[in-house]
Structure 1
Amino acid sequence: MRREQAGLTETVRDPDLFEAFYRRHVDRVTRFLARRVADPHAVADLVAEVFLAVLDSAHTYRPGRGSEIGWLYGVARNTHLAQLRRSARELHAAGRLAGRRLLDVDDIARLEERIDAESPARRALAAMAGLPEHDRALLELVAVDGLTPAEAAAALGIRQGTARVRLHRARRSIQQVPGVSPIMEGTK
Protein backbone atom coordinates (compact mmCIF):
# COMPACT_ATOMS: atom_id res chain seq x y z
CA MET A 1 0.00 0.00 0.00
CA ARG A 2 2.82 2.42 0.90
CA ARG A 3 4.49 1.62 -2.40
CA GLU A 4 1.36 2.33 -4.51
CA GLN A 5 0.80 5.60 -2.63
CA ALA A 6 4.43 6.51 -3.25
CA GLY A 7 3.78 5.65 -6.91
CA LEU A 8 1.35 8.54 -7.42
CA THR A 9 3.51 10.87 -5.38
CA GLU A 10 6.49 9.94 -7.58
CA THR A 11 4.32 10.29 -10.69
CA VAL A 12 3.61 13.96 -10.01
CA ARG A 13 7.30 14.64 -9.40
CA ASP A 14 8.44 13.15 -12.72
CA PRO A 15 7.29 15.10 -15.81
CA ASP A 16 7.28 12.02 -18.07
CA LEU A 17 5.30 9.92 -15.59
CA PHE A 18 2.87 12.77 -15.01
CA GLU A 19 2.38 13.20 -18.75
CA ALA A 20 1.54 9.49 -19.04
CA PHE A 21 -0.88 9.80 -16.07
CA TYR A 22 -2.46 12.84 -17.70
CA ARG A 23 -2.87 11.11 -21.09
CA ARG A 24 -4.30 8.03 -19.42
CA HIS A 25 -7.01 10.00 -17.59
CA VAL A 26 -7.67 13.30 -19.40
CA ASP A 27 -10.50 11.96 -21.60
CA ARG A 28 -12.40 10.46 -18.67
CA VAL A 29 -11.97 13.63 -16.57
CA THR A 30 -13.11 15.74 -19.53
CA ARG A 31 -16.22 13.55 -20.02
CA PHE A 32 -16.93 13.69 -16.28
CA LEU A 33 -16.86 17.50 -16.32
CA ALA A 34 -18.64 17.84 -19.68
CA ARG A 35 -21.61 15.98 -18.17
CA ARG A 36 -21.81 18.70 -15.52
CA VAL A 37 -20.81 21.90 -17.35
CA ALA A 38 -22.20 23.14 -20.67
CA ASP A 39 -19.58 25.79 -21.47
CA PRO A 40 -16.58 24.32 -23.36
CA HIS A 41 -14.21 27.00 -22.02
CA ALA A 42 -15.27 26.24 -18.47
CA VAL A 43 -14.75 22.50 -19.06
CA ALA A 44 -11.23 23.14 -20.38
CA ASP A 45 -10.45 25.39 -17.41
CA LEU A 46 -11.80 22.83 -14.96
CA VAL A 47 -9.83 19.97 -16.53
CA ALA A 48 -6.68 22.05 -16.13
CA GLU A 49 -7.62 22.85 -12.51
CA VAL A 50 -8.17 19.15 -11.78
CA PHE A 51 -4.69 18.20 -12.94
CA LEU A 52 -3.17 21.13 -11.05
CA ALA A 53 -5.02 19.90 -7.96
CA VAL A 54 -3.56 16.42 -8.57
CA LEU A 55 -0.07 17.92 -8.38
CA ASP A 56 -0.92 19.40 -4.98
CA SER A 57 -2.88 16.50 -3.54
CA ALA A 58 -1.26 13.33 -4.86
CA HIS A 59 -0.12 12.57 -1.32
CA THR A 60 -3.77 12.10 -0.31
CA TYR A 61 -4.35 9.18 -2.69
CA ARG A 62 -4.94 5.93 -0.81
CA PRO A 63 -4.97 2.90 -3.15
CA GLY A 64 -6.78 0.83 -0.53
CA ARG A 65 -9.80 3.12 -0.82
CA GLY A 66 -10.20 2.77 -4.59
CA SER A 67 -8.71 3.17 -8.02
CA GLU A 68 -6.80 6.13 -9.40
CA ILE A 69 -9.75 7.13 -11.57
CA GLY A 70 -12.11 7.00 -8.59
CA TRP A 71 -9.77 9.27 -6.66
CA LEU A 72 -9.37 11.48 -9.72
CA TYR A 73 -13.17 11.77 -10.07
CA GLY A 74 -13.24 12.86 -6.44
CA VAL A 75 -10.68 15.56 -7.23
CA ALA A 76 -12.72 16.57 -10.31
CA ARG A 77 -15.93 16.67 -8.29
CA ASN A 78 -14.32 18.81 -5.60
CA THR A 79 -12.84 21.12 -8.23
CA HIS A 80 -16.24 21.47 -9.92
CA LEU A 81 -18.01 22.15 -6.61
CA ALA A 82 -15.37 24.73 -5.68
CA GLN A 83 -15.99 26.47 -9.01
CA LEU A 84 -19.75 26.47 -8.38
CA ARG A 85 -19.19 28.00 -4.94
CA ARG A 86 -16.83 30.63 -6.40
CA SER A 87 -19.39 31.49 -9.09
CA ALA A 88 -22.17 31.77 -6.51
CA ARG A 89 -20.01 34.03 -4.31
CA GLU A 90 -19.06 36.19 -7.30
CA LEU A 91 -22.69 36.47 -8.39
CA HIS A 92 -23.76 37.36 -4.86
CA ALA A 93 -20.94 39.90 -4.49
CA ALA A 94 -21.69 41.44 -7.88
CA GLY A 95 -25.34 41.70 -6.93
CA ARG A 96 -24.46 43.37 -3.65
CA LEU A 97 -22.02 45.73 -5.31
CA ALA A 98 -24.46 46.63 -8.02
CA GLY A 99 -27.29 46.90 -5.51
CA ARG A 100 -29.42 44.80 -7.76
CA ARG A 101 -31.70 41.90 -7.29
CA LEU A 102 -33.73 40.02 -9.81
CA LEU A 103 -37.05 41.67 -10.50
CA ASP A 104 -40.27 39.76 -10.77
CA VAL A 105 -43.15 40.69 -13.10
CA ASP A 106 -44.93 42.74 -10.42
CA ASP A 107 -41.77 44.72 -9.66
CA ILE A 108 -41.30 45.52 -13.32
CA ALA A 109 -44.94 46.59 -13.70
CA ARG A 110 -44.66 48.90 -10.67
CA LEU A 111 -41.45 50.40 -12.00
CA GLU A 112 -42.99 50.96 -15.44
CA GLU A 113 -45.93 52.75 -13.79
CA ARG A 114 -43.53 54.88 -11.74
CA ILE A 115 -41.45 55.71 -14.83
CA ASP A 116 -44.58 56.72 -16.74
CA ALA A 117 -45.80 58.82 -13.81
CA GLU A 118 -42.45 60.62 -13.63
CA SER A 119 -42.23 61.50 -17.33
CA PRO A 120 -43.38 65.13 -16.78
CA ALA A 121 -40.65 65.52 -14.17
CA ARG A 122 -38.07 64.08 -16.59
CA ARG A 123 -39.21 66.61 -19.21
CA ALA A 124 -38.90 69.38 -16.62
CA LEU A 125 -35.39 68.25 -15.66
CA ALA A 126 -34.38 68.13 -19.33
CA ALA A 127 -35.76 71.64 -19.88
CA MET A 128 -33.89 72.88 -16.81
CA ALA A 129 -30.55 71.55 -18.04
CA GLY A 130 -29.89 74.81 -19.89
CA LEU A 131 -30.46 77.03 -16.86
CA PRO A 132 -27.64 78.43 -14.75
CA GLU A 133 -26.75 76.06 -11.90
CA HIS A 134 -28.16 78.19 -9.06
CA ASP A 135 -31.51 78.68 -10.90
CA ARG A 136 -31.71 75.03 -11.88
CA ALA A 137 -31.03 73.79 -8.32
CA LEU A 138 -33.79 76.00 -6.92
CA LEU A 139 -36.30 75.06 -9.63
CA GLU A 140 -35.57 71.34 -9.19
CA LEU A 141 -36.23 71.55 -5.46
CA VAL A 142 -39.51 73.39 -5.98
CA ALA A 143 -40.93 72.01 -9.24
CA VAL A 144 -39.62 68.44 -9.15
CA ASP A 145 -39.06 67.64 -5.48
CA GLY A 146 -42.09 69.55 -4.19
CA LEU A 147 -40.46 71.87 -1.65
CA THR A 148 -41.91 75.30 -0.99
CA PRO A 149 -39.75 78.24 -2.11
CA ALA A 150 -38.95 78.94 1.54
CA GLU A 151 -37.87 75.32 2.13
CA ALA A 152 -35.79 75.37 -1.06
CA ALA A 153 -34.14 78.63 0.00
CA ALA A 154 -33.23 77.05 3.35
CA ALA A 155 -31.90 73.93 1.61
CA LEU A 156 -29.70 76.03 -0.65
CA GLY A 157 -28.65 78.43 2.09
CA ILE A 158 -30.03 81.54 0.36
CA ARG A 159 -32.52 84.22 1.45
CA GLN A 160 -36.19 83.73 0.60
CA GLY A 161 -36.29 86.94 -1.46
CA THR A 162 -33.36 85.73 -3.56
CA ALA A 163 -35.11 82.39 -4.02
CA ARG A 164 -38.31 84.07 -5.25
CA VAL A 165 -36.38 86.17 -7.80
CA ARG A 166 -34.41 83.15 -9.09
CA LEU A 167 -37.56 81.03 -9.23
CA HIS A 168 -39.42 83.69 -11.25
CA ARG A 169 -36.48 84.02 -13.67
CA ALA A 170 -36.19 80.23 -14.07
CA ARG A 171 -39.93 79.75 -14.70
CA ARG A 172 -39.92 82.47 -17.33
CA SER A 173 -36.93 80.85 -19.07
CA ILE A 174 -38.55 77.46 -19.53
CA GLN A 175 -42.21 78.39 -19.83
CA GLN A 176 -42.23 77.78 -23.60
CA VAL A 177 -41.09 74.14 -23.35
CA PRO A 178 -43.99 71.77 -24.27
CA GLY A 179 -45.20 69.57 -21.42
CA VAL A 180 -43.27 71.49 -18.77
CA SER A 181 -45.52 74.50 -18.12
CA PRO A 182 -48.23 72.53 -16.27
CA ILE A 183 -45.63 71.20 -13.82
CA MET A 184 -44.27 74.70 -13.28
CA GLU A 185 -47.70 76.21 -12.56
CA GLY A 186 -47.88 74.52 -9.16
CA THR A 187 -44.59 76.06 -8.07
CA LYS A 188 -45.73 79.34 -6.62
Structure 2
Amino acid sequence: MRRRQSDIATDPEAFEAFYRRHVDAIARFLARRVDDPHTVADLVAEVFVAVLDSAHTYRPGLGSEIAWLYGVARNTLSAERRRAFKETRLAGRLGGRRLLDSDDLAELEERIDAESVARRAFEAMAELPDGDRAMLELVVIDQLTIGEAATALGIRQGAARARLHRARRALRNVPEMAPFVLEGI
Protein backbone atom coordinates (compact mmCIF):
# COMPACT_ATOMS: atom_id res chain seq x y z
CA MET A 1 0.00 0.00 0.00
CA ARG A 2 1.33 3.40 -0.99
CA ARG A 3 1.49 5.88 1.84
CA ARG A 4 0.09 9.34 1.50
CA GLN A 5 2.59 12.10 0.80
CA SER A 6 1.80 13.87 4.05
CA ASP A 7 2.90 10.72 5.94
CA ILE A 8 6.50 11.44 4.96
CA ALA A 9 6.49 14.48 7.24
CA THR A 10 5.57 12.42 10.29
CA ASP A 11 6.69 8.85 9.57
CA PRO A 12 10.47 8.31 9.38
CA GLU A 13 10.06 5.03 7.48
CA ALA A 14 7.79 6.66 4.89
CA PHE A 15 10.28 9.49 4.48
CA GLU A 16 13.20 7.07 4.10
CA ALA A 17 11.32 5.10 1.42
CA PHE A 18 10.38 8.34 -0.39
CA TYR A 19 13.98 9.57 -0.19
CA ARG A 20 15.42 6.31 -1.53
CA ARG A 21 12.85 6.26 -4.34
CA HIS A 22 13.73 9.77 -5.54
CA VAL A 23 17.23 10.83 -4.40
CA ASP A 24 18.97 9.74 -7.61
CA ALA A 25 16.44 11.53 -9.81
CA ILE A 26 16.84 14.73 -7.78
CA ALA A 27 20.65 14.50 -7.88
CA ARG A 28 20.50 14.10 -11.69
CA PHE A 29 18.00 16.97 -11.96
CA LEU A 30 20.34 19.27 -10.04
CA ALA A 31 23.55 18.01 -11.74
CA ARG A 32 22.01 19.06 -15.07
CA ARG A 33 21.70 22.59 -13.75
CA VAL A 34 24.72 23.01 -11.44
CA ASP A 35 28.35 22.13 -12.13
CA ASP A 36 29.73 22.16 -8.58
CA PRO A 37 29.50 18.84 -6.67
CA HIS A 38 29.38 20.56 -3.27
CA THR A 39 26.45 22.70 -4.34
CA VAL A 40 24.66 19.67 -5.83
CA ALA A 41 25.07 17.75 -2.56
CA ASP A 42 23.84 20.71 -0.51
CA LEU A 43 20.85 21.28 -2.80
CA VAL A 44 19.81 17.61 -2.70
CA ALA A 45 19.72 17.84 1.09
CA GLU A 46 17.81 21.13 0.95
CA VAL A 47 15.22 19.66 -1.42
CA PHE A 48 14.43 16.84 0.98
CA VAL A 49 14.26 19.21 3.95
CA ALA A 50 11.81 21.31 1.92
CA VAL A 51 9.83 18.12 1.20
CA LEU A 52 9.32 17.63 4.93
CA ASP A 53 7.99 21.18 5.24
CA SER A 54 5.73 21.03 2.19
CA ALA A 55 4.53 17.42 2.09
CA HIS A 56 1.00 18.63 2.84
CA THR A 57 0.92 20.50 -0.51
CA TYR A 58 1.19 17.36 -2.65
CA ARG A 59 -2.05 16.42 -4.43
CA PRO A 60 -1.81 13.00 -6.16
CA GLY A 61 -4.67 13.87 -8.51
CA LEU A 62 -2.65 16.73 -9.99
CA GLY A 63 0.45 14.76 -10.93
CA SER A 64 3.09 12.25 -9.97
CA GLU A 65 5.40 12.40 -6.98
CA ILE A 66 8.35 13.16 -9.25
CA ALA A 67 6.57 16.08 -10.94
CA TRP A 68 5.78 17.57 -7.51
CA LEU A 69 9.32 16.86 -6.34
CA TYR A 70 10.82 18.56 -9.43
CA GLY A 71 8.72 21.60 -8.56
CA VAL A 72 10.18 21.57 -5.04
CA ALA A 73 13.69 21.16 -6.53
CA ARG A 74 13.15 24.06 -8.96
CA ASN A 75 12.03 26.29 -6.10
CA THR A 76 14.99 25.21 -3.98
CA LEU A 77 17.41 25.88 -6.86
CA SER A 78 15.83 29.28 -7.52
CA ALA A 79 16.17 30.21 -3.86
CA GLU A 80 19.81 29.06 -3.90
CA ARG A 81 20.55 31.11 -7.00
CA ARG A 82 19.01 34.22 -5.43
CA ARG A 83 20.97 33.63 -2.24
CA ALA A 84 24.22 33.05 -4.13
CA PHE A 85 23.71 36.16 -6.22
CA LYS A 86 23.22 38.27 -3.11
CA GLU A 87 26.17 36.66 -1.36
CA THR A 88 28.47 37.08 -4.36
CA ARG A 89 27.42 40.66 -4.81
CA LEU A 90 28.02 41.49 -1.16
CA ALA A 91 30.99 39.46 0.00
CA GLY A 92 32.11 36.76 -2.43
CA ARG A 93 31.79 33.04 -1.86
CA LEU A 94 33.67 31.76 1.16
CA GLY A 95 32.96 28.93 3.56
CA GLY A 96 29.61 27.51 4.50
CA ARG A 97 30.03 24.22 2.68
CA ARG A 98 30.26 20.85 4.21
CA LEU A 99 33.26 18.75 3.33
CA LEU A 100 32.67 15.83 0.97
CA ASP A 101 34.67 12.66 1.21
CA SER A 102 36.49 11.51 -1.92
CA ASP A 103 33.81 8.92 -2.84
CA ASP A 104 30.99 11.48 -2.62
CA LEU A 105 33.02 14.00 -4.58
CA ALA A 106 33.92 11.45 -7.28
CA GLU A 107 30.29 10.34 -7.63
CA LEU A 108 29.03 13.91 -7.96
CA GLU A 109 31.78 14.77 -10.45
CA GLU A 110 30.74 11.75 -12.55
CA ARG A 111 27.12 12.92 -12.49
CA ILE A 112 28.15 16.44 -13.43
CA ASP A 113 30.27 15.11 -16.32
CA ALA A 114 27.40 12.87 -17.47
CA GLU A 115 25.10 15.89 -17.58
CA SER A 116 27.50 18.21 -19.48
CA VAL A 117 25.51 17.95 -22.73
CA ALA A 118 22.35 18.96 -20.89
CA ARG A 119 24.18 21.93 -19.30
CA ARG A 120 25.26 23.09 -22.79
CA ALA A 121 21.64 22.80 -23.85
CA PHE A 122 20.62 24.95 -20.87
CA GLU A 123 23.10 27.59 -22.01
CA ALA A 124 21.52 27.58 -25.48
CA MET A 125 18.09 28.01 -23.88
CA ALA A 126 19.13 31.03 -21.81
CA GLU A 127 17.55 33.49 -24.25
CA LEU A 128 14.08 31.94 -23.99
CA PRO A 129 11.44 33.50 -21.76
CA ASP A 130 11.53 31.87 -18.31
CA GLY A 131 8.23 30.00 -18.67
CA ASP A 132 9.08 28.58 -22.10
CA ARG A 133 12.55 27.54 -20.95
CA ALA A 134 11.22 25.88 -17.80
CA MET A 135 8.66 23.91 -19.81
CA LEU A 136 11.28 22.73 -22.31
CA GLU A 137 13.63 21.71 -19.48
CA LEU A 138 11.02 19.65 -17.67
CA VAL A 139 9.60 17.87 -20.73
CA VAL A 140 12.60 17.41 -22.99
CA ILE A 141 15.49 17.15 -20.57
CA ASP A 142 13.88 15.89 -17.36
CA GLN A 143 11.47 13.62 -19.27
CA LEU A 144 8.25 14.65 -17.53
CA THR A 145 4.98 14.42 -19.40
CA ILE A 146 3.37 17.70 -20.39
CA GLY A 147 0.82 17.20 -17.61
CA GLU A 148 3.50 16.55 -15.01
CA ALA A 149 5.50 19.58 -16.15
CA ALA A 150 2.36 21.72 -15.98
CA THR A 151 1.87 20.52 -12.40
CA ALA A 152 5.50 21.28 -11.50
CA LEU A 153 5.11 24.81 -12.91
CA GLY A 154 1.61 25.37 -11.51
CA ILE A 155 0.02 26.04 -14.94
CA ARG A 156 -2.72 24.45 -17.06
CA GLN A 157 -1.90 21.81 -19.67
CA GLY A 158 -2.99 24.06 -22.56
CA ALA A 159 -0.57 26.77 -21.45
CA ALA A 160 2.13 24.12 -21.02
CA ARG A 161 1.64 22.88 -24.60
CA ALA A 162 1.82 26.43 -25.94
CA ARG A 163 5.04 27.14 -24.02
CA LEU A 164 6.64 23.91 -25.22
CA HIS A 165 5.72 24.62 -28.85
CA ARG A 166 7.12 28.19 -28.68
CA ALA A 167 10.37 26.97 -27.10
CA ARG A 168 10.89 24.21 -29.65
CA ARG A 169 10.11 26.53 -32.54
CA ALA A 170 12.56 29.18 -31.23
CA LEU A 171 15.42 26.67 -30.86
CA ARG A 172 14.94 24.38 -33.86
CA ASN A 173 17.92 25.92 -35.74
CA VAL A 174 20.35 25.90 -32.79
CA PRO A 175 22.80 22.96 -33.31
CA GLU A 176 23.25 22.18 -29.59
CA MET A 177 19.51 21.85 -29.22
CA ALA A 178 18.76 19.55 -32.17
CA PRO A 179 18.68 16.34 -30.09
CA PHE A 180 16.42 18.02 -27.54
CA VAL A 181 13.86 19.99 -29.55
CA LEU A 182 13.30 18.22 -32.85
CA GLU A 183 10.96 15.64 -31.31
CA GLY A 184 7.42 16.92 -31.40
CA ILE A 185 7.91 19.94 -33.71
Larger Rg: 1
Instruction: Report 1 or 2 for greater relative contact order, CA contacts < 8 Å, sequence distance ≥ 6.
Output: 2
TM-score, normalising length from structure 2? Answer: 0.47
TM-score, normalising length from structure 1? Answer: 0.46
